[in-house]
A and B are shown apart, each in its own frame.
Chain A
């Protein structure tokens, strides 16, 4: 038997990748130019040139600051956040074989926020543990609690969701307890605003943390793309196809915990992205994970940038929490996906 690889259709692939990147760049350009201060695209590019290559275009210091230090870093982080949350949703949906699985619903986000709040307010872990570290520990603890609850309840894929609901309640209660009993008024207000999701405080150092996390985690997920396909008929079916189920689960659950924890520690909890985007992506590119995962990354990124723009302009002079915007647009989109999926079968 021959083993010649069947060449994929390269021109079509390159065209799709270019189109996706163009869409992403357009979204970022929109995010940089739209806002309280209207900025022409040419000025935005000049500011970008100044910021990256120090080209010395005549851009006012205020505009330079708004574009480069405030809006661009914010847009990039929104992209990373949306992309990784969508990726986490796709991974969890495949591993747990449940279309409702995502970090927010499974309580992983709630666990991460409890961990982050514990570090912020209690000073838990002293100087050694950063907020992201606390969030990661919280996310892992939440995953373990939910896994234990789900196994105890029979381990079927809908039990996992019930366990997730219980887990989020538990961790949200823990967060609320810490905040109400131990935080001063100013801290409490800050934490509550952060919990609903907020890109307002984002600056370049956050982007430098989130970028490698997103890229490495995406790489790990892509290495498991074929293995995730094998989970379609369940864990036993995957194992009989030669998949090391336990190892894959540990690696991928840890990867989603890292992604979720990183994003929660920077922007707070943002729901619906991890739930809706994988379904939309599946609708566009089909269920094979080698295509689905990159699609989730790009679509999640674009969705989050647009959601962030909306959060800034929807109510004049005010910024809505990003979680509110994603839910406002995510819920109807989800209903539409469900409806179309039902018609298709």
Chain B
């Protein structure tokens, strides 16, 4: 058992953003949330890690109501990687990853061997050990995202929640971040935009539309031509690609070359 939402609701400015969502992450697997802009993905993720309070329904972690857990205990168990979080503070890569130890340390605790090992191990897992002392500001977008993931791993979580971790990254970095998440073996819940990447890297997919889950399950069952047309309003053709995996092709009418006026 791991993270699950049971009929949760949340609204902002009198508009229902998350409207009765029920879903369950499977241990050690990747659950992808897809849906059009404004479908409630980010809000749902924030409810799952209790950055926002559910208005009704419950989020459970190992069958325990998330709302009853101490925030610090929660942070030792579950980590959250925001979309493009940045800072003006002059921090090194290692300083940022050290922040991940915050829930494990008391107000007056000194830095221990265990803390140091967790930080080094986290940097190792995201392949950033050599950048240990580099300044955060000098990193590229993909490197920053890796460091954020390392910070999350330094919390030693069993569940990792990521809000569009591939946003604004070039395709090489998108692929390498998602491949990294697959290698980690931690339970992941993440929001994604790219349907092909979701299909390629997620074990399960939940499709959000107007705050409701309209389909969920393994990618081949969920991502159908019909569903994509209905939810995203885009006509697609799904075929076997060159690698033998499913490929989603967008069918749109482009003006013929030279005919655009």
Contact = CB atoms under 8 A, between A and B. Distances in A.
Interface of A: 1-6, 8, 97, 99, 223-227, 229-230, 232-234, 236-237, 239-244, 282, 286-288, 341, 344-345
Interface residues of B, number: 40
B205 to A, nearest CB: 24
Contact of A2 (B74, B95, B111, B113): B113
A8 to B, nearest CB: 7
A275 to B, nearest CB: 15
A6 B155 CA distance: 19
Contacts of B108: 223
B117 to A, nearest CB: 6
B85 A4 contact: no
Given A232-B99, A233-B87, A240 B114 contact: no
A156 to B, nearest CB: 13
A99 B88 contact: yes
B122 to A, nearest CB: 14
B102 A1 contact: no
Contacts of A237: 80, 82, 85, 99
A194 B188 CA distance: 59
B102 A5 contact: no
Interface of B: 46, 49, 51, 71-76, 79-80, 82, 85-91, 95-96, 99-100, 102-103, 105, 107-114, 116-117, 135, 137-138, 155
Given A2-B114, A3-B113, A5-B110, A241 B103 contact: yes
Contacts of B117: 1
Contacts of A232: 87, 89, 91, 96, 99
A234 B155 CA distance: 17
In the A-B complex, the 7 residue pairs with the closest CB atoms: A242-B75, A242-B103, A242-B72, A240-B80, A241-B102, A5-B110, A233-B85
Nearest to A245: B71
A59 B140 CA distance: 67
A242 B100 CA distance: 10
A239 B71 contact: yes
Contacts of A239: 51, 71
A230 B71 contact: no
B110 A6 contact: yes
Nearest to B76: A242
Nearest to A241: B102
Nearest to B115: A6
Contacts of A229: 99, 102
B13 to A, nearest CB: 13
A230 B102 contact: yes
A345 B88 CA distance: 11
Contacts of A234: 82, 85, 87
